[in-house]
Structure 1
Amino acid sequence: MKANTITALRDRKNEVAMSHLREVSDSMRRHGLNAEVFQSSAEAVEELLSMIPSGASVGFGGSVTLLESGVLDALRSRNDITLLDRDAPDLSSEEIAHVMRQSMNCDFYLSSANALTMDGRIVNIDGRGNRVSACIFGPSKVIYVIGYNKVCRNLDEAIGRIRTIASPANCRRLGIDSPCSKLGRCPEKNVPTPNCICISTVIIDGSRDSQRVTAFLVNENLGY
């Protein structure tokens, strides 16, 4: 009986999550953003790879989601594309910056989101700004991979999520000595410092080009 109850609760949780993701995807489509819902990362990665043709140039923003989902490993295994790999070993800081600039003009740019609202708005906060810049303009196509854990009820909750969860975790991951890496949240008087990664806040409400942006919404916890 206990096992059956646990299974039933798990199934119900899955149904609720998928329902939320479908609601978000419907909202995004109304804003000119293509959106697809997937039960697993494996399904999303398979579909994503099918969208990128041989000969394409592919760039990506810094993202734990792209790593955890298997997207980056799958791209690195392809020898028929030009992968602008900012994380390639032994790159100097100048070379990394060069790859980031190259990515501004690639065929496909991949990113995740720090948060995603139920009404379909994609929210990201950057330190350097290369990721949000490319998502706004430059690359021919943008593909987001976003886990269910990023979904928030509204914009206020989305910004709060970033400042209390995503940014502190990313600072610790990157070894950045920022106030939030110590406090676990942005300080009340949030004055940007050289070590702050919360410099540029960008909200994608929609797209004028209905073919440019696609979001893969995955029913998994991915990234921060």
Structure 2
Amino acid sequence: MLDDWITHTPRDILAKNFGVDPSVFDTVPSKFPYILNGTVSEEATDTPQGTLTGNSSYVYRTYSHPSEPVPGTGGVLRKIDSRNFPISKTIAAAVVELEPRGLRELHWHPNAEEWLYFHRGKARATVFIGDSKARTFDFRAGDTGVFPEDSGHYIENTSDTEKLIWVEIYKSDRVADISLAQWLALTPADVVAQTLKVDIEVVKRIKKEKQTFVAGK
């Protein structure tokens, strides 16, 4: 918007405002380019009253943020929320990587709906909202989706060779989820077995620690 603003301001006003000759602005693009070629600036700018500190300044570089240790194998999770980025009181996010044929386990989010942007790969997800209402979606790079709050779902990498990468956004101060398997494992095994009509020994083998990722086979 900067160049668009400049080109729609009289040159004499610009010259007066910046203390330069009007001809300085002859080469400003007439249309906002959105994306342009350039170089990365390493120059630090001195400020007359000092730099921003504390609650006045928040800079967060996701690429340097370490992944969070999570149970299970086959994926990587990076959370950005109020726990590691204090200014984030109303929005939270996660960057997720899932290995080929890997699974983001069955779970739901108790505090917000989930907005997704798929950056790389191919995925499949079934979303369940109760009352026998469910739908399965196929996603590829560039797709977006929204899963309602408290809706049960999973995300599977359907590629045999390519990693799946997506971004999750929540209108909340934190990223939170509840594992279906862990919930069942921490419920009396006989109750689960009777409800699902499965052998109780199968229920007893469910891991009590949630498996955020399940590696593909």
Same fold (TM over 0.5): no
**Larger gyration radius, structure 1 or structure 2:** 2
| TM-score, normalization by structure 1 | 0.26
| TM-score, normalization by structure 2 | 0.27
Whichever structure has more helix as a proportion of its residues is: 1
Whichever structure has more strand as a proportion of its residues is: 2
Higher RCO (CA-CA < 8 Å; seq separation 6+): 1
